[in-house]
Structure 1
Amino acid sequence: MNLKATLRGQTFVFDSIKEVLAKANEEKSGDILAGLAASTGLERIAAKEVLSDLMLSDLRDNPVVPYDTDEVTRIIQDQVNEKIYSQIRNWTVSDLREWILDNETKESDIKRISCGLTSEMVAAVCKLMSNLDLIYGASKIRITAHCNTTIGSRGNFSTRLQPNHTTDGIEGITASLFEGLSYGCGDALVGLNPVNDTVASLSEVLKRFHEIKQQFDIPTQTCVLGHIKTQIEAVKNGAPTDIIFQSIAGSEKGNQAFGFSTGTIREARQLLISQGTGTGPNVMYFETGQGSELSSNAHYGTDQVTMEARCYGYAKAFKPFMVNTVVGFIGPEYLYNSKQVIRAGLEDHFMGKLTGVPMGCDCCYTNHMDADQNDIENLTMLLASAGINFTIGVPGSDDIMLNYQSNSYHDAAAVREILGLRPIKEFEIWLEKMGIMENGKLTKNAGDPTIFTYNR
């Protein structure tokens, strides 16, 4: 196993595969903060050269967090299909890249091979790709999942309607929900981030969501994104819940910092299968974001792209309905500017798809980051062309509760029209019945929430 390369008369020697992975990463402020990034562009290219010649077996044998000490590593390694892995173990990372991008490689081929990959392999091939490579590679793959409806089918572009409110005021949430529905949002999920993480508060919102869904016969899913343990108690107390949510990390220590264990996820999933209001079988929702492990000192000296890939390997074990990266939410400490945010969004989407999870993205940024709304709209269009399952919709692109900027309710309609994409079929039929959409385009009723208030 060769861990050195000579470029322009200068020899670069790397101490470990972990160091190669880190220094082959595109520049990210989080890696610089952690002291892991390449010091020069030339060193980055040297690391990419070394990485390209590593065999997949080298990456399998050297997980960035040891198997014996980390349950995330164990879950990722133990779900590898050994027969498929044996067929590709002697491929180099470069071989994998060229195979994915070959125009004769089919979706079914990629899905089969993905069963033999670990997260370190997924991260490694990502680091050898340009932005266009990431878009093209991801566009080949569709990962579907079913709760009450099916997300991720080719030709669909869906949204999570996010009607957040600064005080969890139930009528304010309802007004925002009606506005979002009137713009054709919410086919993936109606999902609120609560201010008050209490069983009573979550239950009140869940009951209102369920009431509205039942009253207007809306074919979608509902969720309140409290802590997983709070959601479990709400379901046990009778709150109508289609999906349970949790933010996850790429290490056991990171998940402990989030306040849960693998056992908690298994409990939540089994509870929803037996007592949830969703049809299933996919009833879990996970969110991720590059840099979260560094913020809890749970990254084990590993770069943020590789840790992010491990989140998807972990999520896959629980057969989720939705996974999304909240790509610019943590801030400039981890993704400094629009260039880094756009790159991270494309990386995360590709890695999630290659891993085999139904992938979405919150195309977002914070107001102290060197990015603006134009950058986020650029990312949204790139991801939609790459076949992303869903993005987020908030009123006027401004989430006044979380204090960050995302996509607006009406952005999805523009993206669908430009790229010839549609909502989930059952939801589009419902939109047409409500007079909100016709032949795939919004009608003059779009943006008028009184469509719903007149009928209450």
Structure 2
Amino acid sequence: MLFSTKIKGQHYTFQSVKDILAKASEEKSGDIMAGVAANSSLERMAAKVVLSELPLKEIFENPVIPYEKDEVTRIIYDDIKQFIYKEIKEWSVGELRNYILSHSTKTGDLFRLSKGLTSEMISAVAKLMSSIDLVLASQKIRPTAHCNTTIGEEGRLAFRCQPNHPTDNLDGILASIKEGLSYGAGDAVIGVNPNNDSVESVSRILHMTHNFMSKWNIPTQNCVLAHITTQMQALKKGAPIALMFQSLAGTQKANDDFGVSKEILDEAFEMMRKYSTSTGPNQFYFETGQGSEVSLDAHDGVDMQTLEARTYGYARHWYPFMVNNVSGFIGPETIYDGKQVIRADLEDLFMGKLHSLPMGIAPTYTNHMMADQNDQEIAGMLTALGGANFYMGVPGGDDVMLSYQDTSYHDDASLREMLGLRPLREFEVWLEKMGIMKDGRLTESAGDLSIFT
């Protein structure tokens, strides 16, 4: 079926729903590299016009990757509440946008609505939104989850303490943990990216972080961001895991390259139910980001934003405690510059939250991108205004193990202060007990590691 419109005397024709979605996307270098992007701003606008008039039923009946071909598609469709979908299937994408942005539409309305939306529908409506639309819509949606702490409550902003070390030196990791905690970071998770992905090395870090949390009675969760199968082996050998991590993508082919599947995730889910050190019920941490499918040549002709939405549809099946995007992590071949980073972060925040996920943002960039700290800070402030659930806390904002730029412990404290937000409830009590915070503000002890001696 062909879809067409006329702008400034020129006809624009699109071959499929997949083609419309791709051409309606804001410009991203990864879509250009994949050969799916609009050829001009006028073609992009034409695609948006066609998309705005497209019935949701048309999108539902034409998934960008067929149900029988792709596990991600199957999970998204099998999880849809059909009775809710049938109530809205005749809406156009434009009508869906108007409903989401209406002042009379409440948070509960959007949580209910999300259960009837496929990921392609959520991607489609995001393509019709400006930056201010995405922030406003994101503010309306407040998913919550509980591991050992409760994330997503109104007025709260959490941070992952990310104490990576290039050689996994335990003393170096511990020093970074203490620094992060002293600035109020770590209520989302103390999460270490390991350099060595062996079961033995991962287990050592898990035991160290768990023992430190226990010694100081810190109400949070630990996680080592190794491959999920490594963590499962460590868990079988008695390593203390509160939160289990895995990177996900929006196509089965990309997830195959990641070494992950529904079968593996289901097994890990049940293992965490039995053996995790956390109270739960939300015990998964998923990381995503626009561009991974393109970098793996596993995009199947689908645009990056829609694939990211499909990743969220896949992720919500396992009720995670945390999901965050790292859309600028790959480099300029997928996200070229600061403008594209900011747009991707705003899209990802909205799409994740409309999937009812506790969504965090990592406004990352690599040193070979046309982006800098100003772009990163703008992305951080805008997404914080949109109600991001958490951010990363990296010493100095420069990850010495992964070689990319992210939010620092100081950035985290600034975001809380400028927006009047506080740490997660359980963690704030601990911060006050330690003298790090009082009445929601950091004290003179902030940054003083001697409080742990």
Per the normalisation by structure 2, the TM-score is: 0.99
Name the counterpart of 1:308. 308
Q: Is the counterpart of residue 269 in structure 1 residue 269 in structure 2?
A: yes
Name the counterpart of 2:65. 65
1:362 CA drift (Å): 1.1
For 1:31, give the aligned amino acid.
D
Name the counterpart of 2:172. 172
Post-superposition CA distance 1:312-367 (Å, at most 9, x none): 00000001000000121011101000000000000000000011111001111000
Q: Percent identity?
A: 57
1:295 CA drift (Å): 1.3
1:2 CA drift (Å): 6.4
Aligned equivalents of 2:81, 2:377: Cα separation in 1: 38
Secondary structure of the residue that 2:318 maps to in structure 1? coil
Name the counterpart of 1:191. 191
Secondary structure of the residue that 2:325 maps to in structure 1? strand
Post-superposition CA distance 1:7-61 (Å, at most 9, x none): 0000001111101000000000000001111111000000000000101111110
Name the counterpart of 2:417. 417
Secondary structure of the residue that 1:246 maps to in structure 2? strand
Name the counterpart of 1:451. 451
CA contact (8 A) 1:21 1:306 kept: yes
Name the counterpart of 2:161. 161
CA contact (8 A) 2:2 2:14 kept: no
Secondary structure of the residue that 1:200 maps to in structure 2? helix
CA contact (8 A) 2:162 2:392 kept: yes
1:165 CA drift (Å): 0.0
Q: Is the counterpart of residue 338 in structure 1 residue 360 in structure 2?
A: no
1:100 CA drift (Å): 0.3
Q: Is the counterpart of residue 293 in structure 1 residue 293 in structure 2?
A: yes
CA contact (8 A) 1:67 1:73 kept: yes
Secondary structure of the residue that 1:410 maps to in structure 2? helix
Aligned equivalents of 2:363, 2:303: Cα separation in 1: 21
Post-superposition CA distance 1:292-329 (Å, at most 9, x none): 01111211100000000000000000010000001210
Aligned equivalents of 1:314, 1:292: Cα separation in 2: 15
Aligned equivalents of 1:344, 1:218: Cα separation in 2: 34
Post-superposition CA distance 1:92-142 (Å, at most 9, x none): 000000000001100000110110000000000000000110000000000
CA contact (8 A) 2:199 2:230 kept: yes
Secondary structure of the residue that 1:360 maps to in structure 2? strand
Name the counterpart of 2:282. 282
CA contact (8 A) 1:31 1:303 kept: yes
Post-superposition CA distance 1:155-185 (Å, at most 9, x none): 1111000000000000000000000000000
The alpha-carbon distance between structure 1 residues 2 and 49, as it changes in their structure 2 partners (threshold 3 A), is: farther
Q: Is the counterpart of residue 41 in structure 1 residue 41 in structure 2?
A: yes
CA contact (8 A) 1:220 1:427 kept: yes
Q: Which runs of 5+ in 1 are unaligned?
A: none
Aligned equivalents of 1:82, 1:261: Cα separation in 2: 25
For 2:38, give the aligned amino acid.
A
Post-superposition CA distance 1:397-433 (Å, at most 9, x none): 0001000000111111111111010110110110000
Post-superposition CA distance 1:57-108 (Å, at most 9, x none): 1111010111001111000001110110000000000000000000110000
Name the counterpart of 1:100. 100
Aligned equivalents of 1:371, 1:294: Cα separation in 2: 20
Secondary structure of the residue that 2:335 maps to in structure 1? coil
Aligned equivalents of 2:92, 2:343: Cα separation in 1: 24
CA contact (8 A) 1:327 1:361 kept: no
Name the counterpart of 1:227. 227
Name the counterpart of 2:259. 259
Q: 4+ residue runs of structure 1 moved beyond 3 angstroms? A: none
Name the counterpart of 1:83. 83
Secondary structure of the residue that 1:446 maps to in structure 2? coil
Secondary structure of the residue that 2:432 maps to in structure 1? helix
Post-superposition CA distance 1:423-446 (Å, at most 9, x none): 101101100000000111110000
Query: Within 5 Å, which residues of 2 pair with 1:239-258?
Result: 239-258=239-258
Secondary structure of the residue that 2:113 maps to in structure 1? helix
Name the counterpart of 1:324. 324
Name the counterpart of 2:349. 349
Q: Which runs of 5+ in 2 are unaligned?
A: none
1:242 CA drift (Å): 0.4
Name the counterpart of 1:200. 200
Name the counterpart of 2:6. 6
Post-superposition CA distance 1:209-250 (Å, at most 9, x none): 101110000000110000000000000000000011000010
Aligned equivalents of 1:53, 1:47: Cα separation in 2: 10
Secondary structure of the residue that 1:286 maps to in structure 2? strand
Secondary structure of the residue that 2:409 maps to in structure 1? coil
For 2:230, give the aligned amino acid.
T
CA contact (8 A) 1:228 1:244 kept: yes
Aligned equivalents of 1:355, 1:18: Cα separation in 2: 20
Q: How many residues align?
A: 453
Aligned equivalents of 1:188, 1:153: Cα separation in 2: 12
Aligned equivalents of 1:184, 1:377: Cα separation in 2: 19
Aligned equivalents of 1:272, 1:442: Cα separation in 2: 34
Aligned equivalents of 1:157, 1:374: Cα separation in 2: 21
Q: Is the counterpart of residue 441 in structure 1 residue 441 in structure 2?
A: yes
CA contact (8 A) 1:394 1:408 kept: yes
